[in-house]
């Protein structure tokens, strides 16, 4: 081997060592550079665009549009709610199936009879008498007074504080019937009408608390019917006989049997 070849071999060895060292440096520097890039991405400052606020005139116009839209929605809601109450008599503020249903004579009798039975512990009026009166006075709930104003017994209003309506009615005066306008009580349901009728017979009137005591003390429906006529409940001279006829035709004493 010559001297020249020995020198070239040494140079090659040194060059290989430098390359290996450079590879090692590039290896860990590469990882470090990678981490630096990740941190730059994470903590890089973001540039935000400047927000342009609408002018005062545009803001006022937008508020006006929002208010108009809100009023329009409220108007629609009120309109649809008002439609739900169409067809219901203005005298009744309470919802009642009695308004919507059309009863047969027997169904009406059964309904009012049960109301009278329920009211008996307070009024002590025979349910047969109460039911027969409702049939005669309201024509089975078909009269204007009973169907629109829930007044089954022709109860008149003598107080300005009571809700009332003026309607024509037939009265028997001086041996003949005449038509007169009278103020009648307004109720929210037939059940309320039955309850108020029971209080009238039980407590009497403001000028005579014992006016209907004969009705309360009666031991039979016939005795109670004549006691009502004697007390002047109705001007019809045949009122008692009419009550008895209705009671017997529809067998209303079955309601009396539930309370006696």
Q: Please provide the distance, in angstroms rounded to a whole number, between the alpha carbons at the two ends of the chain.
A: 146
How far, in Å, CA of 214 to CA of 231, rounded?
8
Task: Print burial letters for 11-44: b (CB count within 10 Å at least 16), e (below 16).
Answer: eeeeeeeeeeeeeeeeeeeeeeeeeeeeeeeeee
Give the mean pLDDT of 43-54: 58
Report residue 177: phi and psi, to 5°: -85, 135
Question: In which element (H, E) is residue 4 found?
Answer: helix 3-42
pLDDT at 89 over 90: no
Report residue 114: phi and psi, to 5°: -70, -35
* pLDDT for the residue numbered 88: 35
User: With bands split at pLDDT 50, 70 and 90, how would you rate the model's confidence at 16?
Assistant: low
Yes or no: say if 141 and 190 are a contact pair by the CB < 8 Å rule: yes
Task: Classify residue 4 as exposed, middle or buried by CB count within 10 Å of its CB (0-12, 13-18, 19+).
Answer: exposed
- Give residue-wise pLDDT tens across range 123-180: 999 999 999 999 999 999 999 999 999 999 999 887 888 888 988 877 777 777 788 7
- Give residue-wise pLDDT tens across range 120-133: 999 999 999 999 99
- CA angle 178/179/181 to nearest 5° reads 140
* pLDDT for the residue numbered 188: 95
- The region that residue 174 occupies, defined by phi over 0 for left and psi between -120 and 50 for alpha, beta otherwise, is left
* pLDDT for the residue numbered 41: 63
**Fold (topology level) of 104-153+186-256:** Lysozyme (1.10.530)
The pTM for the full model equals 0.60
Residues composing the chain: 260
- Give residue-wise pLDDT tens across range 37-48: 666 666 555 555
- Give residue-wise pLDDT tens across range 200-233: 999 998 889 999 999 999 999 999 999 999 999 9
User: With bands split at pLDDT 50, 70 and 90, how would you rate the model's confidence at 91?
Assistant: very low
User: With bands split at pLDDT 50, 70 and 90, how would you rate the model's confidence at 242?
Assistant: very high
Q: How far is CA 150 from CA 94, 99, 111, 163, 203, in A?
A: 11, 9, 14, 12, 22
Residues with catalytic roles:
171, 196
Question: Beta partners for 128?
Answer: none
pLDDT at 197 over 80: yes
User: With bands split at pLDDT 50, 70 and 90, how would you rate the model's confidence at 240?
Assistant: very high
Of 190, 163, 187, nearest to 98 (Cα)?
Answer: 190
* pLDDT for the residue numbered 90: 41
């Amino acid at each position: 081997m010559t001297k020249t070849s020995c020198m070239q071999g040494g140079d090659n060895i040194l060059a290989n060592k430098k390359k290996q060292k450079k590879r090692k440096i590039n290896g860990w520097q590469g990882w470090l550079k990678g981490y630096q890039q990740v941190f730059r991405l994470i903590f890089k400052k973001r540039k935000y665009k400047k927000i342009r606020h609408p002018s005062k005139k545009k803001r006022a116009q937008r508020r006006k549009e929002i208010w108009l839209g809100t009023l329009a929605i409220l108007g629609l809601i009120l309109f649809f709610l008002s439609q739900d109450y169409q067809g219901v008599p203005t005298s009744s503020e309470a919802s009642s199936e009695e308004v919507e249903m059309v009863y047969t004579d027997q169904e009406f009798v059964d309904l009012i009879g049960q109301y009278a039975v329920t009211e008996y512990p307070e009024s002590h009026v025979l349910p047969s008498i109460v039911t027969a009166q409702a049939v005669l006075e309201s024509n089975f709930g078909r009269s204007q007074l009973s169907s629109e104003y829930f007044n089954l017994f022709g109860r008149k209003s003598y107080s300005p504080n009571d809700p009332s309506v003026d309607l024509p009615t037939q009265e028997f005066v001086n041996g003949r019937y005449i038509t007169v306008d009278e103020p009648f009580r307004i109720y929210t349901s037939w059940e309320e009408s039955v309850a108020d009728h029971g209080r009238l017979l039980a407590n009497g009137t403001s000028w005579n608390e014992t006016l209907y005591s004969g009705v309360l003390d009666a031991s039979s429906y016939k005795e109670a019917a004549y006691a009502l006529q004697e007390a002047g409940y109705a001007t019809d001279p045949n009122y008692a006989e009419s009550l008895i006829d209705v009671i017997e035709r529809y067998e209303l004493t079955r309601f009396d049997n539930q309370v006696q």
